[in-house]
Chains A and B, each alone.
Chain A
Amino acid sequence: MHVPDGFINAPVSAVAGVVAAGAVAVSLRGARRELDERTAPLAGLVAAFVFAVQMLNFPVAAGTSGHLLGGALAAILVGPYTGVLCIAVVLLMQGILFADGGLTALGVNISVMGVVTVVVAYGLFRGLTSVLPRTRRSTTAAAFVAALVSVPAAAVAFTLLYAIGGTTDVPLGKVLTAMVGVHVLIGIGEAAITALTVGAVLAVRPDLVHGSRGLAAPLKLRVDGELVDAPAAAPAPAAPRSTRKVWAAGLVAALLLAGFVSFYASADPDGLEKVAADQGIDEKVEEHGAADSPLADYGVKDVENARISGGLAGVIGVGVTVVVGSGVFWAVRRRRTREASGTTTGTRSD
């Protein structure tokens, strides 16, 4: 599963390295919020746990066995930020000490196995637990689904990187089928083990499972033979966080991807367009209304170099999207604040 050197070309590896470094930087801040100054020893010990877990072999059938990847498990047990950090540290140490995964492919490995796995697993887990009834069983079920999807998601992410910067032109369809096919099978095993493990921890120390913090039953006191709710310690209100940095980072990443990566993107039709052309679906497709706009077909008119033109179009596209998107967001928020202030004044006048 670890990507060796020479598999993905240098520019894409560099971009993946930047993405991984950004993700680790964000996780460092986030983990400090999750664990404050206990971050170093706790995250270190959890990383050691992930490392040990990857050594535990699970027999599958007739002499074959596999091991856990641990991304989903770490995300659910200790939270997404600490999860990304632990996986990243494990991958870094495996790369330097055990030569498992190439040094130039470290960014690719962290992005695919750390970031994508953890983000997909935790997002899915959070989404499911908010919908399902708040019981232990549904937490375990959500852990199952999250782990099940996270592994093929990582495989898809890898295929995407391979499509942009693979050093050999294996037909993409074949790579995708093989990768996703194999990883769906791996994902089933991962899901079963993750769910069982989360269940085992839930049974003993439910407070340690980050993903089920809301599950704790309120403390009851028995006063004169009757159960009374204990006075709960008021949780400290979270300080309002500035979103400006997240914004800036997102914008930079989008511009980087649009301007730089599209440099290396293939000019061939994408999979959907290819299928459409092969099957003759697109015979009736009319030219898009904006076909002769200055940015038609992801290129800037009157710019000769196809790559620069593509990159420029990407940057302009991101810029326009950001402006339009923040305009809409701003308008909605203004309306909402006005409504809110309207209702408060209304209640006051009553």
Chain B
Amino acid sequence: MGAGHAHKLYRHGHSPVHDLPPHCKLVAVLCFVVVVVSTPREAVWAFALYAALLAGVAATARIPAGFLLKRLVIEVPFVAFALLMPFVVPGEQTELLGVPVSVPGLWGAWNVLAKGTLGVGASVLLASTTELRSLLLGLQRLRLPPLLVQIASFMIRYGDVITDELRRMSIARRSRGFEARGVRHWGVLAKTMGALFIRSYERGERVHLAMVSRGYTGSMPVIDEVTASRTQWAYASVLPVLALAVCLLGWTV
């Protein structure tokens, strides 16, 4: 696993944001999201400030806006749900473009849309400025159980392998004239999945044997311990601290 294994979500660069230690970034993003979620929905301006903060981070990391916006597509399903809210929530009614909608429903939709979008934006920024491997190191540094980190790292390492295996199976099916058109073809697809499971499980056994033959005893040696200096923590805390200030303003004003 040499070079060229960066995931598609990562955007290579050397900005101050890229260079921060991963666990600082993880803590910062988590705190930021917690602060955003606990902001009262009526403080509309606060959410604008949060968005500006995120835009500031993106500018520092030199991530183009188009890249970020494209990744925000992930939230489409819950946008649909949020758009339904004004029509199903009972309460005071109002007119919007000639359509009767409920006021609490509108607030609810706004709440979910604003907080959800900001959360997605923060996670996207984290994923696009942090390499996968260092993310896992950061999780380990944050005292996530080592076994869980190992499982996650195996999933990440072999995720592409397994997905590619699935893709090859799909090519093999199509080259034999198969085209899944409806429920009648589920049997074939399910057999694909069964075969994929057996292959994954057997690969797991082989990987384990290979590891044992290289001296694995149940824990991975930590070669590169990530550390953070106080300055780096201070840099990372700028985002959540500013957000906290905005949140406190939102509660008092």
* A residues with CB within 8 A of B: 1, 4-7, 9-10, 13, 24-25, 28, 32, 37-49, 51-53, 55-61, 68, 77-78, 85-86, 88-90, 92-93, 95-100, 102-104, 167-171, 174, 192-193, 196-201, 203-205, 208
Contact = CB atoms under 8 A, between A and B. Distances in A.
B29 to A, nearest CB: 7
B168 to A, nearest CB: 12
B150 A44 contact: yes
B16 interface: no
A288 B183 CA distance: 54
B228 to A, nearest CB: 18
B200 A168 contact: no
A93 B144 CA distance: 13
Contacts of B158: 44-45, 48
Given A103-B33, A174-B88, A40 B151 contact: yes
Contacts of B109: 168
B205 interface: yes
Interface residues of B, number: 89
B194 A6 contact: no
B119 A102 contact: yes
B154 A47 contact: yes
A93 to B, nearest CB: 6
A28 B148 contact: yes
A48 B200 contact: yes
Contacts of A200: 190-191, 193-195
Interface string B88-132: 111100000000000011011101101110111111101100001
Contacts of B208: 37-38, 41-42
B85 A55 contact: no
B114 A10 contact: no
Contacts of A43: 151, 154
Q: Which of B71, B158, B180 has the most CB of A within 10 A?
A: B158
A10 B34 contact: yes
A53 B33 contact: no
B242 interface: no
A39 B127 CA distance: 27
Contacts of B157: 44
A38 B159 CA distance: 18
A5 B115 contact: yes
Given A58-B189, A60-B182, A168-B111, A99 B155 contact: no
Contacts of B159: 48, 51-52
B204 A5 contact: no
B145 A28 contact: yes
Given A47-B154, A56-B166, A85-B151, A103 B71 contact: no
B147 A39 contact: yes
Contact of A99 (B112, B120, B183): B120
Nearest to B125: A99
Contact of A41 (B38, B111, B126, B204): B204
B104 A168 contact: yes
Given A24-B148, A193-B190, A38 B34 contact: no
Contacts of B77: 1
